[in-house]
Amino acid sequence: MIKHATTPNARPGRPSGGSETEDDLNPAYVSAFAALAGAIIGGLTSFGTAWFTGQAQLRAADRQARGAKLEALYNDYITEVVRRYGDALTHQTEDPTNMLSLYALGSRMRLVATRRVIDAAVRLDEKILETYLGPNLSLREMQELARQGEMKALLTEFSEACREDLAGRGQ
């Protein structure tokens, strides 16, 4: 029977090769590594959650800001339509410059609005242009025209298309 030489650190029944095995790992190190790993995982989780929450908040704020700009554009267009229509009722003209501000707003809307909004805006533009090319109206004739409600229907159609567009964007 051959006996292995033992070293002071060697355990009985094991050969001494000068290297420690996994069983020789100090339990204090295991606890320290586990605590360190837990702290790292907890920190990364906290950081990840904060980052994702921040990104979601930024996207929501951006969406809200874009919606507010779009709503302001729609309001500006409605204001200009009413002003131009009022002018067209009492001024017959073939001067295209009267429609330029309206066309400019319509073109800005074409960049961001839905097809339904743009189509409703085109119908409003056509009605105003038709009114400019027609005869000037008296107050009684304007009252009769208001009773017919064509312009009111066109404005309602445009407003509803705008509302639907804004709602579809989460506004």
pLDDT for 3: 55
Q: Is 77 left (phi over 0), alpha (psi -120 to 50) or beta?
A: alpha
> pLDDT tens-digit profile of 14-51?
555 555 555 677 888 888 888 888 889 988 899 889 88
Any idea what DSSP says for residue 96? G
Q: pLDDT value at position 157?
A: 96
How large is the average pLDDT for residues 133-139?
A: 87
Give the domain ranges of the chain.
62-168
R_g of the chain computed on alpha carbons: 38
Q: How far is CA 59 from the centre of its chain?
A: 6
Mean pLDDT of 110-137: 92
- Asked if 65 and 170 count as a contact pair (C-beta separation under 8 A), the reply is no
Determine phi and psi for 133, rounding to 5 degrees: -80, -15
Q: What is the pLDDT of residue 169?
A: 83
Please give the pLDDT value at position 21: 55
CA dihedral sign of residues 146, 148, 151, 155: positive
**pLDDT the model gives residue 31:** 85
Residue 168 in tokens: 């579809």
Average pLDDT, rounded, for the chain? 84
pTM: 0.68
d(CA 104, CA 8): 93
pLDDT recorded at residue 156: 94
